[in-house]
């Protein structure tokens, strides 16, 4: 009886282990990254996380001259950095061109003084690119400019240097502080402005 129970337990354990492996989706063989600035990185992070094929979105800072900047450094407008997000995605399911198309719809590229209620250089819209990404981004920018319902395109395409992840407090902010995030987003007028800029 004991031997039967041991055998049964081992079989069940093996079955459970097999199912666990089967339930775990395989990691893509190759991933790529894209870096975007579009005002508050809480909003950019939240909106990019919902794109099919996106594996990870990180809030952070890039474009400036200060190494390992803090949030205070960036919002002081003395570091040269932009609030930004780094998007890791599966190129077998999503291409860079579509990410760019999605990005433009999330920002007001006619405003180079900030974004929505957040004002200052660190909140300006920009796409940070590698040499291989630049021609794709420039073409996408030109196409987006034609779709604008008002204003002129002012968002820049800039060379990507170092991306610095933001402090833990800012990561996944919309998920961890849903009510505060919703109140901020509504109060900032982000969605209302986007409708004016892009229509719909």
- 43 as an active site residue: the answer is no
Cα dihedral: 136, 131, 88, 116 (round 10):
-70
82 CB contacts (<8 Å, ≥6 apart)? 37, 61, 62, 63, 64, 74, 121, 122, 123, 124, 126, 128
Whole-number CA gyration radius for the chain:
21
- How large is the angle between the packed helices 96-106 and 190-198, nearest 10 degrees? 110
Helix (H, G, I), strand (E, B) or coil at 171: coil
Question: Do strands 54-62 and 156-159 pair parallel, antiparallel, or not at all (unpaired)?
Answer: unpaired
Sign of the Cα torsion 136, 138, 139, 140 reads positive
d(CA 159, CA 174): 28
**Selected catalytic residue, list 40, 43, 117, 188:** 40
Active site residues: 40
């Amino acid at each position: 009886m004991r031997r039967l129970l041991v055998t049964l337990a081992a079989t069940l354990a093996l079955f459970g282990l097999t199912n666990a492996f089967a339930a775990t989706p395989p990691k893509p063989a190759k991933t790529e990254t894209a870096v975007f600035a579009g005002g508050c990185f809480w909003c950019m992070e939240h909106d990019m996380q919902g794109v099919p094929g996106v594996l990870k979105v990180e809030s952070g800072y890039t474009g400036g001259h200060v190494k390992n900047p803090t949030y205070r450094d960036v919002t002081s407008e003395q570091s040269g950095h932009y609030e930004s997000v780094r998007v890791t995605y599966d190129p077998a399911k999503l291409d860079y061109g579509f990410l760019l198309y999605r990005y433009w719809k999330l920002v007001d590229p006619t405003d180079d003084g900030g974004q929505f209620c957040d004002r200052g250089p660190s909140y300006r819209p920009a796409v940070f690119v590698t040499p291989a990404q630049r021609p794709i981004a420039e073409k996408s920018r030109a196409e987006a400019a034609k779709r604008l319902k008002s204003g002129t395109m002012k968002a820049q395409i800039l060379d990507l240097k170092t991306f610095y992840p933001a402090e833990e407090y800012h990561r996944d902010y919309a998920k961890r502080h849903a009510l505060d995030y919703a109140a901020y987003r509504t109060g900032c007028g982000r969605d209302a402005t986007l409708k004016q800029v892009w229509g719909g």
